[in-house]
Structure 1
Amino acid sequence: MIARATGDPAAYRDLVFPFLQRDPVLNTSLLTNVADRVGGIMNDPEPPVFVSVHDGGEVVGAAIATALRGVLLAGLPVELVAPVVDVLAEAAPRAQGVDGTADAAQRFAEEYGVRTGRPYREIERSRLHKLEEYVEQTADGTPRLATEADMDVLVPQFGAFRAEVGHATVGAAADRMWVRQRIERQRFWVWEDGGRVVSFVGHQAPVFGTARVGPVCTPPEYRGHGYASALTATVTRRLGESGYQVCLFTDLANPTSNKIYATIGYRPVGDFVGYAFS
């Protein structure tokens, strides 16, 4: 096995997407990340590193390292971790963390930590779900696509959400760009009740017939009214009606969100673990 790196997202897409499309749900984080970079709506402070693993002339694995998300292994098998570490220990020695299936993420953290001299710690466990049988949810108020007029409300809500879930701080200007780019592409929804935006839900660009819902957030002062559940259900239904297979990630430390998504009709596909490097 040998791993190779590139900084060209379009070339990487052409190289690895035929392999990744074999399981577009399991590989959703890689597929959407690369697709957005090709589409010009990802803005990192440093260039990403795109890694492909080859067995002879065939692509058998993929991973990426980005400044804001760290290393994404998606469904990379544990036996392919070593060649990825070989590349990224040199090409991305300051990665903030790694996320992947339990065995692969742990193996990467151990080997990369040794190679770079950096200790690591577990920071999150998440679960990938796929919609199986849709169940409508209701709440007071109505859903609608977000518009430019919502920016002054959504940007601080989104920034607070990033801080709450532990994502890297990028500043209000970057948050504003992120929200605007999704609004322009009609990938950001809000729930409105009494003239107030009380919840928001985004979704990623569909890739190979699969669309991933997220982020999902209700500001603390509006929680407990079913807004996020109803809005997630609405976005899920619309994506399903467009012919897409719908999936999402949940934080296993948050039993409320896991219960909500199960009620909508999502069922587990697999678990992932995230580690942070010091």
Structure 2
Amino acid sequence: MKVRLTADPAEFKAITFPFLQRDPVLHSYILSNTADRVDGILHDPAPPLFLSIHDDPGEVVGAVFCTALRGIQLGALPDALVPAIADICADQAPDPDTIAGTATAARQLAELRAARTGKTFHQTLGMRLHKLGTFVEQHATGTARQAVAADLEVVVSLLAAYGTELGHPLPPDEQYRWGSTRIERGRVWLWEDGGRVVSVVGHQETLFNATRVGPVYTPPSARGHGYASALTAHVTKHLQATGSEVCLNTDLANPTSNKIYAAIGYRPLVDFVVYELR
């Protein structure tokens, strides 16, 4: 087993995408984050670290990235490959204290990292990746529309509230960069009711005929009217009409969102967890 390192997302893309594209839904997170860095949409405050894991003949069998904002992202890395990257991550990326991956792989790396650093670890988030099955239309008062440049302030405001509610707010400059670049690319949608924007849904770039929906956010004052359900369904239908497979992540601690997405036709595919060391 060999691990190859790079700080260049374009190099990582060239090496790993032929492997990752075999299951673009399962690997959606690593694919989209890498593509956004290559395209200049995502920016890191410190140099990122990308790892490709190769078997003895040299074929890619796993891909991992580590950044200051998102910690160590294992994606769907198999458990058996965790030992191959543990020491490298500890030596080359000692600062990130969050690890995301499947329940067993993420815990395995958290245990190895904790043993090396003397820190303790605990799970902070459980996520479920869903893939669209049979689409079911949803309805609410109001209409959906694609966000335009004039919507930047309202999009940034909703994004800021979303980040604050999650406990991971983006810096203001990142909020504006996120909003402006994604609006330009047609990846932000709004739901309006009575001339008021009441919900926002984004989606990632379509890669290898798969698209991940998110984020989805409705301010507390506008909840309970089905806006998020209707807008997510609208975006889902739009993406499906392009021929794309559609997927999304949910927080397992939020039964409301899981119920909403199940009603649209999303079905569970695999669970992921996030561990934090301290």
Q: TM-score, normalised by structure 2?
A: 0.97
Shift of 1:29: 0.5
Q: 1: distance between equivalents of 2:42 and 2:32?
A: 11
* 1:84 is the counterpart of 2:107: no
Aligned to 2:185: 185
Aligned to 2:128: 127
The DSSP-based 3-state class of the residue aligned with 1:12 is helix
List aligned pairs for 1:204-219, cutoff 5 A.
204-219=204-219
Shift of 1:117: 3.3
The DSSP-based 3-state class of the residue aligned with 1:53 is strand
List aligned pairs for 1:60-99, cutoff 5 A.
60-99=61-100
Q: 2: distance between equivalents of 1:143 and 1:264?
A: 16
CA RMSD across the alignment: 1.0
Q: 1: distance between equivalents of 2:137 and 2:97?
A: 39
Shift of 1:11: 0.9
Aligned partner of 1:101: which letter?
Answer: T
Aligned partner of 1:132: which letter?
Answer: G
Shift of 1:156: 1.9
Aligned to 1:172: 172
Q: 1: distance between equivalents of 2:23 and 2:151?
A: 36
Aligned to 1:225: 225
Contact 2:78 2:105 in 1 (8 A): yes
Contact 1:4 1:87 in 2 (8 A): no
Cα-to-partner distance string for 1:200-245 (whole Å, 9 max, x where unaligned): 0000001111000000000111000000000000000000000000
Q: 2: distance between equivalents of 1:58 and 1:28?
A: 20
Gaps of 5+ in 2: none
Aligned partner of 1:119: which letter?
Answer: T
List aligned pairs for 1:237-248, cutoff 5 A.
237-248=237-248
Q: 1: distance between equivalents of 2:90 and 2:54?
A: 18
Shift of 1:171: 1.9
* 1:234 is the counterpart of 2:241: no
Shift of 1:52: 0.7
Identity %: 55
Shift of 1:34: 0.4
Aligned partner of 1:3: which letter?
Answer: V
Q: TM-score, normalised by structure 1?
A: 0.97
Aligned partner of 1:203: which letter?
Answer: H
Aligned to 1:110: 111
Contact 2:139 2:226 in 1 (8 A): yes
* 1:198 is the counterpart of 2:188: no
Aligned partner of 2:19: which letter?
Answer: F
Aligned to 1:7: 7
Shift of 1:71: 1.0
The DSSP-based 3-state class of the residue aligned with 2:119 is coil
Aligned to 2:159: 158
Gaps of 5+ in 1: none
Shift of 1:89: 0.5
Q: 2: distance between equivalents of 1:267 and 1:163?
A: 28
Aligned partner of 2:25: which letter?
Answer: V
Aligned partner of 2:4: which letter?
Answer: R
Aligned to 1:138: 139
